[in-house]
Amino acid sequence: MHPTNHHSATCRQPGGLKLYTHAAQTSWKALEENCFVTEGLSSMSISFTLHILYYNIMKKISQQCHKEIIQKLKDGLSHRKIAQQYNVAIGTVSNVRKTLLAVLPKSKMGRLKKMQFHHHHFLEREFKSRTIKTVQQACQVFKERFNTNISHTTMHKELIKQHYKARVIIKRPLLTKKHRKACLLFAQTYKDWTVDDWKSIIWSDEIKINCMGSDGHCFCWLKASGLASSLIQPTLKYGSGSIMVWGCMTRAGAGKMTVIHGFMDSTIYVNILKENLQDGNPKHTSGYTKDWFRRKGIQTLPWPAQSLDLNPIEHLWGLLKHCLGQYPTAPQGQQELAIRVAKEWDKITPTDCQKLIESMPQRLRAVIKAKGSHTKY
């Protein structure tokens, strides 16, 4: 069906150019007949050009139809569906929408997000209360509570958006009220010591080193912050494929490192102390050990138990384990592990030890600030 608006047509014939203008009631068929060119004039160029001008005047819609189109737009129906339903042009629907851009919602494209607004608040609450600690746990809870399957990748991205980070749960000695009180008292007693005072100390400790890496890390998701109690996993003093080593350090560098075979009691420890000093381990403070110190005239520092934050040699063990972790293969047994430990221990420089000893004033201030509890050290 052709439009009934005004048309203009140009017909180029051998006899000249004629312009036909037809009113709205002129039919398309009549226009074609008036512009028909007969054949037979092969010696002359015959061309035919027909130009139709359309004046798309929008049909006025009723007030009721206008209101219904507005409601359909608010309901989120597409322009095409509305136009089909009310038998109007898509442009008509578009013009109606232009008058309502301030109140109409934006068009929703694609599939809805699985993580809705109330899900965000649920995650925030559960992770903050430590009810959920890992991405795997969060995905499982969502499936059980909301009947929604959330992939680990989606959950990971959502936690990143909420400014959470995957943090390692640090294993620290279990601090009782008695331990915290002793650490705080020690820090307050020696807070005025200078770096030179601390350089006169021999620092000693023992450590277990595994053949196959650490005893394992636990991860949790927390917002970026300092050391929190939820980042600490309490451990006790004692828990193969490992060896026990004892070592010490001074401002001059690392001292002698000794591999301990079997369980170290006071007798074995005294043999080691012929060249070294002590820490707060129970066997180091036994009567037999104290008597040996008294006979040798060695003055000891009253070191509080469970105070890894205060002993700088703990960071020296961390440096040693890091170097051992750079080997491409695991050691084939305890003997090879002991050889590697001795090799890496000998690489420790006096500068490494001095930097750790020089941190003692800061360590004491941190313990005082934490009221004897755990610190970042």
Residues 157, 265 within the same domain: no
Please indicate, yes or no, whether residues 131 and 181 belong to a single structural domain of this protein. Answer: no
Distance CA 89, CA 69 (A): 12
Give the CATH number of the domain where residue 284 resides.
3.30.420.10
- Domain extent for 128: 117-162
Mean predicted confidence (pLDDT) in 340-350: 92
Does residue 36 lie in a domain region? no
pLDDT tens digit sequence for 216-264:
555 566 665 555 555 555 544 444 578 889 888 888 888 888 888 777 7
Distance CA 248, CA 278 (A): 9
Report pLDDT for 47. Answer: 37
Whether residues 210 and 144 share a domain: the answer is no
Q: Is the pLDDT of residue 365 over 70?
A: yes
Domains held by the chain: number: 2
* Residues 361 and 290 placed together within one structural domain of the fold: yes
DSSP assignment letter at 303:
P
Same domain, yes or no: 158 and 180: no
pLDDT recorded at residue 100? 73
Residue 285 and residue 262 share a domain: yes
Is residue 143 in some structural domain?
A: yes
Q: Is residue 328 part of a domain?
A: yes
pLDDT at 347: 92
153 and 248 housed in the same domain: no
Residues 139 and 187 in one domain: no
Do residues 353 and 250 touch, judged by C-beta distance below 8 A? yes
> Does residue 39 sit within a domain?
no
Query: 141 and 191, same structural domain?
Result: no
Regarding whether 210 and 153 lie in a shared domain, the answer is: no
Q: What is the DSSP string of 265-295?
A: -HHHHHHHTTS----S-GGGGSHHHHHHHHH
Assigned domain for 202 exists:
yes
Q: Does 374 fall in a domain?
A: no
Residue 46 falls inside a structural domain: no
Structure-model confidence comparison of residues 103 and 194, the more confident one: 194
Same domain, 330 and 283: yes
> Does 188 lie in the same domain as 145?
no
Identify the pLDDT of residue 25.
41
Does pLDDT of 194 surpass 70?
yes
Question: What is the mean predicted confidence (pLDDT) over 262-284?
Answer: 62
pLDDT over threshold 90, residue 27: no
Model pLDDT, residue 239: 41
Q: Which of 229, 237, 233 shows the shortest CA–CA distance to 375?
A: 229
The H or E element that residue 80 is part of is helix 79-86
* Mean of pLDDT values over 333-355: 91
